[in-house]
Amino acid sequence: MFLFKTELALRQHLDKISSKPIGFVPTMGALHRGHESLIEASKDRGCYTVASIFVNPTQFNDKSDLEKYPRTVDADLELLYHIGCDAVFCPAVSEVYKEGKAPVPNVDLGHLGNTLEAAFRKGHFEGVMQVVARLLDMVRPQMLFMGQKDLQQLTIIQHMIQQLGIEVDLIPCPIVRQSSGLAISSRNSRLDEEVLPHVHLLHDTLMYCRQQFSETPISALKEEACKKLDLPFFKLEYLEFLNAQDLTILSSHGDADNVVAVLAVWANDVRLIDNMLVHGKF
Ligand code: AMP
């Protein structure tokens, strides 16, 4: 496995790879089975697989979240080596944000730019687009692997790729969960003892939404679902039913063939997001 810290060294290496398509998995490190599944998806497609580890400061709307973000580079490199990742890119902030090299892309996000995650995390997606556009420019992959766990991010990056005419196939990868149902996240390591026995309720609630979806009006289902998360250490930011194709918020059943339920919850001081298809397909 090769490790690169600069754009120049990365490019000199990747320019020599011609026998396989390049598959790229951007991450912020603190790697877990969710990230592993993206690397595996890339390898399964026969790609020369490049992962990046970069905690991107511009996508953190909350400074203390950036400071507290887990950093486990040695363990990450070991995991990537064992799983058979071909190359890892770990640039410094100064390498990514070289003067003039990483403008915020000019992309029309429509409603996606101001609802759900965008409403609660101001500036977050501008930072995500900025870093993903810059990384794509450096890595120049044929395939980009991203998780459905961050559904709005995935959809926004798809818009960005289309609008900027970037030649890359975005491959969505399913959510990997713990046996309790909790979606695996780097932030889970910060969950405290009070909330840990209860965080499976996020998944339970989404499952309930899926089971009840065809029999219950959306407004009533939303009310019941919110009740399930009504505990003193949870603060629900949103729970919505969306058209799975364009992520518009639904108020009634007839408005979409494919429906995904999404939620964001603070579990004490850790913010968790999750989603589940409750009707139809992605
Ligand atoms: P992050 O390191 O949190 O920025 O995530 C890097 C990539 O891993 C993103 O495309 C995420 O959507 C994806 N990812 C994170 N957690 C999971 C999970 N539990 N299952 C599948 N993909 C995930």
Q: How many helices (H) and strands (E) does the chain have?
A: 10, 9
Q: Do 138 and 18 share a structural domain?
A: yes
For 46-98, what is each residue's pLDDT tens digit? 999 999 999 999 999 999 999 999 999 999 999 999 999 999 999 999 999 99
As for ligand 1, residues whose beta carbon falls within 6 Å of it are 27-28, 34-35, 37-38, 146-147, 149-150, 173, 175-176, 183-186
pTM: 0.98
- What is the greatest pairwise CA distance in the chain? 58
Structural domain that includes position 197 = 186-273
Q: How many structural domains compose the chain?
A: 2
> What is the DSSP secondary structure assignment for residue 181, as one 8-state letter?
S
Task: Note whether 14 and 35 are same-domain residues.
Answer: yes
- The protein residue with its alpha carbon nearest to ligand 1, atom 17, reads 34
Average pLDDT over residues 214-238: 97
Distances (CA, A) of 164 to 1, 138, 154, 231, 238: 31, 15, 15, 44, 31
- 43 within a domain of the structure (yes/no): yes
Residue 279 domain flag? no
Instruction: Give residue for tokens 């003892």.
Output: 193
Q: Which residues are catalytic?
A: 35
CATH code of 92's domain = 3.40.50.620
6 shares a domain with 99: yes
Same domain, 99 and 18: yes
Q: Has residue 269 got a pLDDT over 90? A: yes
**Does residue 278 belong to any structural domain of this protein?**
no
Q: Is residue 167 part of a domain?
A: yes
d(CA 254, ligand 1 centre) in Å = 31
Rounded Cα gap, residues 189 and 198, in angstroms: 15
Query: What ligand 1 atom has the least distance to the C-alpha of 185?
Result: 16
Residues 168 and 193 in one domain: no
**Residues 263, 215: one domain?**
yes
Q: Is residue 178 part of a domain?
A: no
Could you tell me what percent of the chain has a pLDDT over 70?
Answer: 100
**What pLDDT is attached to residue 255?**
82
139-191 pLDDT, tens digit per residue, is: 999 999 999 999 999 999 999 999 999 999 999 999 999 999 999 999 999 99
